[in-house]
């Protein structure tokens, strides 16, 4: 549990609390009274003050779902991440448990050794884009720690695409995140795809790629998000579906661009529980660039498990030009850890004299 929790006698199941530092924590055990004078803790359940009766529909929502206002739902892990303290070590400072920086720098070193570029695309937290719909007292400057980490990565030569300001500027024109789901909405995906493509399309190898005649169609869809209560009304969205000869564009294992990461690379792309096929980030990137991309994405942690899947290919990234590593910012503190993964097999040393 993160933060200063001065008394353990106030917890109720499924409640997220914000202490005086506004650090969110999920409390899982039933204790005694939910109020005590002088504790400085404020509890909220289903977007209401604890003293109020929670709406029946909200109380039936998944345990990981934290209600905001106006029908917005947030993932508990994401709020915990936003309340986390600095999670990486300074060059001359003490080690920090779970520090993602060594693994990211090691991955970059491996890619550099075979001439492959790395672009890290952390998906901002929904609450960093829509802080106004968090239940009071909210989180002051959500995402500030993440942005400091992006600067630290840049200081080590890692290219980072921060989508925060682009999303904030666009949110009034249409939702960039799903209200009822932990993922970005089709509009957010299109913004991300264009921003990634802007970093790639003018590179010599990208200009030289044969271009596909792709078409698109904007269609209404209805989704039931992973944060919604059973029986909740579907959430209506508009999605841009990309096609080649009337069919979704399949990923290509021979593409010079690998899209690596978590389910943000699968939502609206993989079909089934990923809501739709043909309108996800791989599809939008193919449309923006004119050629299909390769996808190495997992329904889970986009940090270590995704890199392990890439390593299992055992191809040393032959023929690749860039890895776009796209994953939720909550991975930095709430994922499955940041192990170093040997994706590129190190070249054997040359034999010495007499061998």
From first to last of its 355 residues, the chain has per-residue pLDDT tens of 333 333 222 232 333 443 323 334 433 322 222 322 222 222 233 233 322 333 333 345 688 999 999 999 999 999 999 999 999 999 889 999 999 999 999 999 999 999 999 999 999 999 999 999 998 888 889 999 999 999 999 999 999 999 999 999 999 999 999 999 999 999 999 999 999 999 999 999 999 999 999 999 999 999 999 999 999 999 999 999 999 999 999 999 999 999 999 999 999 999 999 999 999 999 999 999 999 999 999 998 999 999 999 999 999 999 999 999 999 999 999 999 999 999 999 754 445 444 3
Q: Single out the residue of 114, 117, 121, 108 nearest to residue 321, CA to CA.
A: 117
In a domain, 6, yes or no: no
- Do 276 and 328 lie in one domain? The reply is yes
Give the residue from 54, 82, 110 where a domain finishes.
82
β-strands 42-45, 48-49 pairing: antiparallel
Instruction: Give the N- to C-terminal CA distance of the chain in Å, as an integer.
Output: 57
Q: What is the pTM of this model?
A: 0.83
In a domain, 74, yes or no: yes
Kindly give, in sequence order, each residue whose CB lies less than 8 Å from that of residue 94, ignoring residues fewer than 6 positions away.
none
- Do 139 and 251 lie in one domain? The reply is yes
Using DSSP's 3-state secondary structure scheme, residue 112 falls into helix
- Do 117 and 206 lie in one domain? The reply is yes
- Do 111 and 67 lie in one domain? The reply is no
Distance (Å, whole) CA 57 – CA 311: 44
Number of domains in the chain: 2
Burial code of 12-29, b = ≥16 C-beta within 10 A, e = fewer?
A: bebbbbbbeebbbbbbee
- Do 51 and 172 lie in one domain? The reply is no
Distance (Å, whole) CA 68 – CA 44: 10
- Do 72 and 105 lie in one domain? The reply is no
β-strands 322-328, 257-261 pairing: parallel
Distance (Å, whole) CA 328 – CA 160: 13
In a domain, 246, yes or no: yes
In a domain, 240, yes or no: yes
In a domain, 262, yes or no: yes
Prior bond of 137 cis (ω within 30°): yes
In a domain, 345, yes or no: no
For 238, the domain range is 101-334
In a domain, 2, yes or no: no
Distance (Å, whole) CA 118 – CA 327: 14
Distance (Å, whole) CA 135 – CA 113: 47
- Do 324 and 221 lie in one domain? The reply is yes
- Do 158 and 276 lie in one domain? The reply is yes
DSSP letters spanning 212-263: P--EEEEEEEEE--TTSPTTPPPEEEEEEEEEBTTB-----TT-SEEEEESG
- Do 304 and 181 lie in one domain? The reply is yes
In a domain, 10, yes or no: no
- Do 109 and 64 lie in one domain? The reply is no
């Amino acid at each position: 549990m993160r933060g200063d929790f001065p008394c353990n006698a106030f917890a109720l199941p499924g409640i997220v609390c914000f202490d005086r530092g506004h650090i969110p924590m999920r409390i899982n055990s039933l204790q005694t009274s939910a109020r005590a004078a002088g504790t400085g803790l404020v509890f909220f359940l289903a977007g209401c003050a604890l003293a109020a009766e929670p709406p029946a529909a909200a109380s039936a929502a998944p345990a990981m779902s934290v209600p905001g206002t106006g029908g917005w739902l947030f993932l508990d892990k994401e709020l915990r991440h936003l309340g986390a303290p600095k999670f990486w070590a300074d060059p001359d400072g003490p080690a920090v448990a779970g520090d993602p920086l060594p693994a990211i720098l090691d991955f970059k070193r491996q890619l550099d050794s075979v001439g492959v570029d790395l672009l890290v695309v952390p998906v901002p937290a929904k609450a960093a884009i829509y802080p106004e719909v968090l239940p009071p007292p909210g989180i002051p400057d959500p995402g500030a720690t993440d942005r400091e980490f992006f600067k630290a990565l840049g200081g080590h030569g890692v290219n980072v695409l921060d989508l925060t300001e682009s999303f904030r500027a666009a949110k009034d024109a249409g939702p960039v995140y799903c209200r009822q789901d932990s993922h970005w909405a089709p509009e957010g995906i299109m913004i991300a795809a264009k921003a990634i493509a802007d970093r790639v399309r003018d590179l010599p190898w990208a200009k030289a790629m044969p271009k596909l005649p792709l078409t698109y169609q904007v269609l209404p869809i209805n989704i039931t998000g992973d944060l919604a209560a059973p029986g909740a009304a579907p959430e209506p969205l508009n999605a841009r579906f990309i096609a080649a000869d009337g069919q979704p564009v399949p990923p290509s294992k021979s593409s010079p661009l690998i899209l690596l990461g978590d389910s943000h690379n699968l939502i609206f792309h993989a079909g089934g529980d990923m809501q739709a096929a043909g309108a996800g980030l791989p599809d939008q990137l193919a449309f923006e660039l004119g050629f299909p991309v390769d996808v190495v994405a997992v329904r889970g942690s986009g940090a270590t498990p995704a890199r392990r899947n890439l390593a299992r290919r055992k191809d040393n990234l032959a023929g690749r030009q860039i890895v776009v590593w796209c994953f939720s910012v909550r991975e930095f503190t709430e994922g499955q850890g940041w192990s170093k993964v040997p994706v590129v097999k190190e070249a054997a040393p040359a034999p010495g004299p007499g061998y």
